[in-house]
């Protein structure tokens, strides 16, 4: 069954928010497993269904990069020295930066956990990508954001076309003997590719205009200004609120309430703005009970984690000094498992 | 339905259309003809207001479509009256899949959901693309893409459909599908259709009226297809044949011509035709280009499966076959730049793929589908000088080749400002500069009018006579008839026919030129041949 992409995105972002609050490797592993299981169970036969694996590989690369960076530059240190790299002497003004030197087990574990956190965030996004086409999500945006969503869709379409045109220009360049080097060679590739991109965008714009894009936009200036102000204020509020919620150590008032106010302002702006665009939608994605269940399972997972953190029982942040085996905090783990529910009913 | 009143369009100070007065009544299929650069596209774009709202420039006079003035109605406000299909369907697609593309203009018009659902189904049926409903647009063939683009314009139920060169990129079979769909729209729904096209042999027979733009400030000539085309410098071979034989009225379709051709056929049947095919043997006699068991695959797709091709100096080979039958792959593999999965290719005994690009171009020259890809400098002179430098030839070599092909190209002109024919000439100059023995061309006739194609064919005859082997991929049957000494037909990565042009082109109706269809079983291919035979007889 194809669900509303918005439901999947909220579910995935909630899981990602849980991941962003913890560095506990067991909990992170659990999140990756939950996201992966749901992605594999619920995905449809679509071209983008394989994106979970791609994001997972990407996450492994991130962990690798994080570890290499730690070995080179250091960070957290501990008593268990594994090996020592020759230290690169730096001038006086850069004394706070270390290049080379001893590599400790504690530091290594810490960097792996941090890498895992990023990789888990990526895995959540990958799972959502496998479940819902981002372009379909853009289609369900409110009419006020229509122009923005079209711009994003066009950009997504143009990127592969640019690659194709760069390839054909490169082949043509070899036909001329590939004799030009350096700055002129860049120009030889860029000039035709950019010309092609410009031509294509003009053709696309002409085609969209000829097919009625942007019809009947007769709105008064005050209404437009009101929309703009509301949306901007709403976005600002949501940014601050999201920061408060994710940072964990911000004052309570900055978190959820700010997010709520921002969201309300933003929605108001969108409602006012939607009146100016006269458009209909073919086969709109409906919001059925299933969508709300998926949405709810994600939000519940996040809520349980926040509660556990507030109660203070959970070991969400894993301390690698001294080196100990991590415990699985029960309450947050139970919360993450709630997010597994979509695999059952969706 | 469409009224032009004293319409003049100028960009900067250059007039494109001057004082055009036209009326296209409802329910007509109207064909706009004229040479390259006479303003056909401008005329079409003026109908839905893209000219001047989108392109800029100045339009004086007035264009009325269904009573709406394009001065006060930009293209988006005309979207429910005029459907517009551009030259390259893929470039005009806004969405990803067929169904979404069909609904795009309806969503813009704000139609109710049930209306959209029924119209999508109707349109899928009308154009015969039901099975493509959920397919991604980029994975469709050229003919399918063109039909989807027409469908996307149709779902808004416009009264007028405007198409700019709808069949020029298609193989003969796909072009037939598209034209059949258009024919049905005109006859079943009474839609007014305005088409601009270079390949008149495909469309002229469907037209109710022809509008000829002579260019150079002369007023357009509109009227019934036969007489107007007979007067115009661009006309399909069947019209030229009719003029030559003095048939009245001048025929526009093969059927009309065949009914009048009885006498001519009888008189020509008495003359032997075989002597017209001059045997081609180069000085070396042996083939300069040998390809055997060439295989190419892209991922899972087998583009070529074991193709053999040997071409001797002086031969002019036409590679034909549907879109996607492997013509381009074969050209690129022979040149040495394309990946080869198996088999061997030698030019003068050397495998071009084993050579460095700079040495490779001394063996085989290739003009890609978009000749502009080869050009990157900002003037013709700079391109020529760079080509001389690249191939280590004395200064002026490239320019002299270009002048021999198409004299009088302005030295300071930007390559983008040249006409299609001139740009092709410049690209040929650039690749022929190192004097390679083999010349490969990929679809060179796109966007060329009849006189330009005739010049190209004559020029290729000259190059072959100078000791080159030429292989050219094309969909254009009429051009192949004029140019080729030998035709190779590819299908699904295999050679299905290979032989003298006369034998292959007269053997199947799909690849037969109009003259051959009219005069069958006499094996003549072009109007020029008929003229020569008639001369010999008298």
Task: Give the DSSP letter string of B111-151.
Answer: --HHHHHHHHHHHHHHTT-GGGTTSBGGGS-HHHHHHHHHH
Confidence of residue B282 (pLDDT cuts 50, 70, 90): very low
Residues B202 and B108 in one domain: yes
Q: Is the pLDDT of residue B274 over 80?
A: no
Separation CA A237–CA A231 (nearest Å): 10
Whole-model pTM over 0.95: no
Q: Extract the tokens encoding B2.
A: 């469409």
| CA of A40 vs chain B CAs: smallest distance (Å) | 22
CA distance A193 to B320: 29
CB contacts, 8 Å: B434 with chain A: 177
Tokens of A343: 């695999």
The CA dihedral of B393, B398, B404, B406, to the nearest 10 degrees, is 170
Give the containing element (helix H, strand E) for B534: helix B527-537
Closest alpha carbon to B47 in B149, B153, B202: B153
Nearest Cα to Cα of residue A149 among B94, B388, B482: B94
Q: Per-residue pLDDT averaged across B175-183, rounded?
A: 87
Q: What percent of chain B has pLDDT over 70?
A: 97
How many Å apart are CA A297 and CA A304, to the nearest integer? 11
Mean pLDDT in runs of 10 for chain A (346 residues)? 86 92 91 93 77 90 93 81 83 77 87 93 92 76 70 72 81 78 77 83 86 70 78 86 74 76 84 72 85 93 88 75 82 91 84
A209 and B390: CB-CB below 8 Å? no
Residue A189's pLDDT is 79
Q: Is omega for the bond preceding B52 within 30 degrees of 0, making it cis?
A: yes
Q: Cis omega before residue B249 (within 30°)?
A: yes
Residue B107: list chain A partners with CB under 8 A: 279-282
CB B474 within 8 A of CB B443: yes
Structural domain spans, chain A: 1-136+281-346, 141-214, 221-279
Nearest by Cα to A301 from A12, A39, A38, A33: A12
Q: Strand locations in B170-249, DSSP E? A: 192-196, 209-212, 221-223
Position B277 scores a pLDDT of 55
Q: How many Å apart are CA B11 and CA B201, to the nearest integer?
A: 32
Q: Does A206 touch chain B (CB under 8 A)?
A: yes
Task: Tell me: do B159 and B259 sit in the same domain.
Answer: no
**Closest by Cβ to A200, choosing from B91, B335, B386:** B91
Q: Name, in order, each residue with C-beta under 8 angstroms of A21's C-beta and a sequence gap of 6 or more.
A: A246, A248, A305, A306, A309, A316
Chain A contact for B95, CB < 8 A?
yes
Contact across the interface for A207 and B112, Cβ inside 8 Å: no
- In a shared domain, residues B532 and B481: no
Contact A175 B92 (CB under 8 A): no
Question: Model confidence at B108, in pLDDT bands (50, 70, 90)?
Answer: confident
pLDDT at B440 over 80: yes
Residues with Cβ within 8 Å of residue B188, at least 6 apart in sequence: none
Total domain count, chain B = 3
Residues B59 and B136 in one domain: yes
**pLDDT 10s digits, B364-380:** 999 998 888 888 888 99
Searching chain A, which residue's CA lies closest to the CA of residue B335? A175
Looking at the fold, whether B160 and B108 belong to one and the same domain comes out as yes
Set of chain A residues whose Cβ sits within 8 Å of the Cβ of B108: 211-215, 279
Concatenated DSSP letters of A212-280 = TTTTT----HHHHHHHHHHHHHHHHHHHHHHHHHHHSSS-GGGTHHHHHHHHHHHHHHHHHHHTT----
Nearest to A280 among B54, B113, B337 (CB): B113
Query: How many C-alpha atoms does A192 have within 13 Å on its Cβ side?
Result: 24
Cβ neighbours of residue B175 closer than 8 Å, sequence gap 6 or more: B143, B167, B199, B202
Lowest-pLDDT choice from A71-80, B18-27, B290-299, B453-462: A71-80
Whether the predicted pLDDT of B328 surpasses 80: yes
For position A225, what pLDDT does the model report? 79
Report how far apart, in Å, the C-alpha atoms of A151 and of each of A155, A157, A205, B137 are: 6, 10, 11, 19
Across B165-171, average pLDDT: 85
Interface probe for A, chosen from B49, B75, B332 (most Cβ of A below 10 Å), is: B75
Q: Residue A33: which residues within 8 A CB-CB, separation 6 or more?
A: none
Closest Cα in chain A, distance from residue B242 (Å)? 39
Identify the sign of the CA torsion A215, A221, A226, A231: positive
> Strands, DSSP E only, in chain A?
81-85, 101-104
Please indicate whether, in this complex, the C-beta atoms of A280 and B106 are within 8 angstroms of each other.
Answer: yes
Question: Where residue B415 sits, what CATH number does that domain have?
Answer: 3.40.50.300
Looking at A56-65, A278-287, B227-236, B303-312, which range is the least confident one? A278-287
With both helix axes pointing from N to C terminus, report the angle between B397-405 and B420-432 in degrees, rounded to the nearest 10: 140
Residues 144-183 of A with CB under 8 A from B: 150, 153-154, 157, 168-169, 171-172, 174-180
Does residue B524 lie in a domain region?
yes
Q: Which among B103, B337, B375 is the nearest to A174, CB-wise?
A: B337
Instruction: Please tell me the predicted confidence (pLDDT) of residue B86.
Output: 87
Position B275 pLDDT exceeds 70: no
Q: Domain check: are B152 and B30 in the same one?
A: yes
Residues B470, B518, single domain; the answer is no
The answer to whether B6 touches B60, Cβ cutoff 8 Å, is yes
Q: Is the same domain home to B116 and B81?
A: yes
> Is some CB atom of chain A closer than 8 A to the CB atom of B368?
yes
Interface of B with A in 2-31 (CB under 8 A): none
Distance (Å, whole) CA B405 – CA B101? 43
With CB atoms and an 8 Å threshold, state whether B104 touches A280.
no
User: A74-94: buried (b, 16+ CB within 10 Å) or exposed (e) per residue?
Assistant: bebbbebeeeeeeeeeeeeee
Please tell me whether the interface predicted TM-score (ipTM) of this complex is above 0.90. no
Looking at residue B478, its pLDDT comes to: 94
Strand order in the sheet with B364-367: B364-367, B438-442, B469-473, B316-320, B486-491, B494-500
pLDDT at A19: 92
* C-beta separation of B444 from B367 below 8 A: yes
Angstrom distance (rounded) from CA B514 to CA A336: 72
- The reply to whether omega before B385 is within 30° of 0 (cis) is no
Residues B35, B73: one domain?
A: yes
CB B289 within 8 A of CB B313: no
pLDDT tens sequence across B38-87: 889 899 999 999 988 888 889 999 999 999 999 988 898 899 999 999 88
Q: Check CB contact of A218 with chain B, cutoff 8 Å.
A: no
User: Does residue B303 belong to any structural domain of this protein?
Assistant: no
**Between residues B64 and B97, the one the model is more confident about:** B64
Asked if the Cβ–Cβ distance from A135 to B96 is below 8 Å, we say yes
Q: Which residue has the higher pLDDT, B298 or B456?
A: B456
Beta bridge partners of B63: B4
Residue A88, pLDDT score = 81
Domain range for B32 = 2-232
Q: Which of B269, B234, B227 is nearest to B249 (CA)?
A: B227
> Judged by CB atoms within 8 Å, which residues 315-344 of A form the interface with B?
none
Residue B454 vs residue A220, higher pLDDT: B454
State mean pLDDT over B19-25: 92
Assigned domain for B277 exists:
no
A131: closest CA of chain B, how far (Å): 17
- The last residue of one of the domains, among B232, B252, B282, is B232
Residue A165 to chain B, least CA–CA distance (Å):
9
Partners of B94 on chain A (C-beta within 8 Å) are 150, 153-154, 204, 207-208, 211, 213
Cα–Cα distances (Å) from B181 to B50, B148, B170, B175, B421, in that order, read: 25, 11, 14, 10, 31
Residue B325 has pLDDT above 70, yes or no: yes
Question: B195 near B167, Cβ under 8 Å?
Answer: no
Position B387 pLDDT exceeds 60:
yes
Tokens of A178: 């590939």
Q: Which residues in chain B are contacts of A187 at CB distance < 8 A?
A: 376
Q: Between chains, do A171 and B337 touch, taking CB under 8 Å as contact?
A: yes
Characterize B149-186 residue by residue with b for buried, 16 or more Cβ atoms within 10 angstroms of its Cβ, and e for exposed. Answer: bbbbbbbbbbbbbbbbbbbbbbbbebbebbbebbeebb
Longest dimension (CA), chain B: 72
Higher-confidence residue: A142 or B181? Answer: B181
For B320-354, the three-class secondary structure string (H helix, E strand, C coil) is: ECCCCCCHHHHHHHHHCCCCCCEEEEEECCECHHH
CB-based burial of residue B349 (10 Å sphere; 0-12 exposed, 13-18 middle, 19+ buried)? Answer: exposed
Q: What is the pLDDT of residues B330-370, one digit of tens each?
A: 999 999 888 888 899 999 999 999 998 888 999 999 999 88
Coil, strand or helix at B104: helix
B384 and B249 housed in the same domain? no
Q: Are residues B380 and B321 in the same domain?
A: yes
Helical axes A5-20 vs A25-42, angle rounded to 10°:
170
B240 and B203 housed in the same domain: no
Paired tokens of B482 = 């004029």
3-state secondary structure of B19: strand
What are the Cα distances from residue A67, in Å, to A58, A114, B355?
Answer: 14, 9, 44
For position B528, what pLDDT does the model report?
92
């Amino acid at each position: 069954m194809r669900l509303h992409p918005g439901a999947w995105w909220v579910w995935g972002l909630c899981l990602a928010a849980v991941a962003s609050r913890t560095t506990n490797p067991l909990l992170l592993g659990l999140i990756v497993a939950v996201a992966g299981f749901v992605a594999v169970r619920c995905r449809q036969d679509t071209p983008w269904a394989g994106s979970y694996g791609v994001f997972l590989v990407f996450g492994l690369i991130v962990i690798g990069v994080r570890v290499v960076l730690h070995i080179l530059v250091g960070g957290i240190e501990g008593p268990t020295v594994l090996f020592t790299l020759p230290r690169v002497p730096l001038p006086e003004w850069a004394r706070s930066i270390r290049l080379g030197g001893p590599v400790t087990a504690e530091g290594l574990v810490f960097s792996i956990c941090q890498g895992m956190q990023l990789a888990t965030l990526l895995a959540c996004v990958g799972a959502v990508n496998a479940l819902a086409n981002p372009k379909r999500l853009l289609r369900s945006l409110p009419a006020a954001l229509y122009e923005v969503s079209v711009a994003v869709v066009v950009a997504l379409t143009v990127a592969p076309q640019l690659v194709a045109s760069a390839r054909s220009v490169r082949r043509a360049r070899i036909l001329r003997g590939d004799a030009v080097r350096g700055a002129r060679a860049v120009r030889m590739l860029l000039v035709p590719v950019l010309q092609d991109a410009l031509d294509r965008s003009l053709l696309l714009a002409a085609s969209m205009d000829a097919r009625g894009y942007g019809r009947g936009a007769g709105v008064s200036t005050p209404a437009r200004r009101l929309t703009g102000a509301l949306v901007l204020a709403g976005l600002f509020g949501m940014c601050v609120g999201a920061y408060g919620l994710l940072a964990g150590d911000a004052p309570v008032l900055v978190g959820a309430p700010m997010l709520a106010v921002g969201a309300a302002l933003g929605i108001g702006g969108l409602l006012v703005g939607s009146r100016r665009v006269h458009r209909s939608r073919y086969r709109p994605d409906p919001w059925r009970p299933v969508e709300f269940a998926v949405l709810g399972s994600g939000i519940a997972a996040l809520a349980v984690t926040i509660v556990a953190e507030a109660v203070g029982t959970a070991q969400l942040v894993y301390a690698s000094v001294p080196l100990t085996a991590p415990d699985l905090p029960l309450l947050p783990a139970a919360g993450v498992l709630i997010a597994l529910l979509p695999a059952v009913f969706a | 339905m469409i009224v032009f009143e004293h319409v003049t369009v100028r960009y900067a100070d250059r007039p494109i259309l001057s004082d055009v007065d036209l009326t296209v009544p409802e329910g007509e299929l109207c064909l706009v003809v004229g040479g390259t650069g006479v303003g056909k596209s401008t005329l079409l774009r003026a109908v839905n207001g893209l000219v001047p709202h989108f392109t800029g420039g100045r339009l004086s006079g007035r264009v009325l479509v269904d009573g709406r003035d394009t001065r006060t109605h930009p293209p988006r406000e005309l979207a429910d009256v005029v459907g517009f299909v551009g030259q390259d369907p893929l470039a005009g697609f806004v969405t990803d899949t067929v169904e979404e593309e069909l609904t795009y203009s309806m969503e813009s018009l704000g139609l109710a959901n049930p209306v959209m659902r029924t119209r999508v189904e109707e349109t899928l049926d009308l154009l015969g693309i039901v099975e493509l409903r959920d397919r991604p647009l980029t994975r469709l063939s050229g003919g399918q893409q063109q039909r989807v683009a027409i469908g996307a314009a149709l779902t808004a139920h416009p009264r007028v459909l405007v198409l700019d060169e709808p069949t020029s990129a298609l193989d003969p079979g796909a072009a037939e599908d598209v034209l059949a769909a258009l024919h049905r729209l005109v006859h079943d729904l009474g839609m007014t259709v305005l088409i601009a096209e270079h390949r008149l042999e495909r469309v002229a027979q469907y037209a109710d009226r022809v509008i000829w733009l002579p260019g150079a400030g002369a007023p357009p000539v509109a009227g019934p297809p036969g007489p107007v085309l007979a007067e115009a410098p661009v006309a399909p071979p069947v019209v030229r044949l009719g003029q030559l034989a003095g048939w009245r009225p001048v025929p526009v379709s093969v059927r009309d011509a065949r009914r009048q051709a009885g006498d001519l056929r009888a008189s020509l049947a008495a003359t032997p035709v075989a002597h017209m095919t001059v045997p081609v043997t180069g000085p070396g006699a042996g083939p300069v280009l040998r390809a055997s068991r060439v295989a190419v695959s892209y991922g899972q797709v087998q583009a070529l499966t074991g193709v053999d091709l040997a071409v001797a100096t002086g031969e002019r080979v036409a590679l034909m076959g549907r879109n996607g039958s492997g013509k381009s792959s074969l050209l690129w593999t022979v040149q040495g730049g394309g990946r080869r999965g198996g088999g061997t290719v030698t030019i003068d005994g050397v495998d071009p793929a084993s050579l460095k690009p700079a040495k490779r171009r001394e063996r085989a020259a290739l003009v890609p589908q978009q000749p502009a890809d080869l050009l990157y400098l900002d003037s013709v002179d700079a391109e020529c000088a760079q080509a001389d430098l690249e191939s280590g030839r004395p200064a002026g070599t490239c320019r002299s080749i270009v002048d021999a092909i198409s004299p009088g190209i302005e030295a300071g002109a930007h390559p983008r400002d040249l006409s299609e024919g001139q740009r092709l000439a410049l690209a040929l100059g650039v690749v022929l500069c190192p004097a390679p023995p083999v010349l490969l061309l990929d679809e060179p006739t796109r966007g060329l009018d009849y006189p330009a194609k005739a010049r190209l064919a004559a020029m290729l005859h000259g190059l072959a006579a100078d000791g080159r082997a030429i292989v050219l991929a094309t969909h254009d049957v009429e051009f192949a008839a004029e140019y080729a000494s030998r035709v190779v037909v590819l299908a699904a990565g295999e050679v299905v026919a290979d032989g003298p042009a006369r034998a292959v082109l007269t053997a199947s109706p799909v690849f037969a030129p109009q003259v051959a269809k009219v005069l069958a079983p006499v094996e003549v291919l072009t109007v020029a041949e008929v003229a020569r035979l008639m001369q010999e007889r008298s």
